[in-house]
Amino acid sequence: MFLAGWTEYVLRNPEQEEAKLKTNLAGINVVLDYYSRGEAFGVKYDKNMEWLIEKQTMGELEKYIKRETGSRTKEKK
């Protein structure tokens, strides 16, 4: 239910691009944190997840998500 509400809000409020970016980033960070727990949690190696973790570690994940989701927000310097 939460995801349905989130999706509806984002679709109905396209001017809220910064919120859209932040919610996408938060979701991806949760997935990467879970993935990082490894095989003890039943997680198998995935080269795409490893690549995203590298972006996260280098501080480039937000920029990547912004580009891939087509966010129109101004980049912070």
In a domain, 7, yes or no: yes
Does residue 15 form part of some domain?
A: yes
Q: Which of 25, 17, 22 is nearest to 52 (CA)?
A: 25
Segments forming the whole domain that contains residue 40: 2-69
Counting the structural domains of the chain, the total is 1
Is there a domain that residue 76 lies in?
Answer: no
Average pLDDT, the chain: 80
46 domain residue, yes or no: yes
pTM for this entry:
0.68
Q: How buried is 53 (Cβ within 10 angstroms: 0-12 exposed, 13-18 middle, 19+ buried)?
A: middle
| Start-to-end C-alpha separation, the chain | 36
pLDDT in tens, 29-39: 888 888 998 88
Q: Is residue 75 part of a domain?
A: no
* Domain contains 6: yes
Structure tokens, 7:
């999706």
pLDDT in tens, 3-61: 666 677 777 777 776 777 877 888 888 888 889 988 888 889 999 999 999 999 999 99
The pLDDT of residue 75 is above 60: no
**65: how many CB neighbours lie within 10 A of its CB?**
20
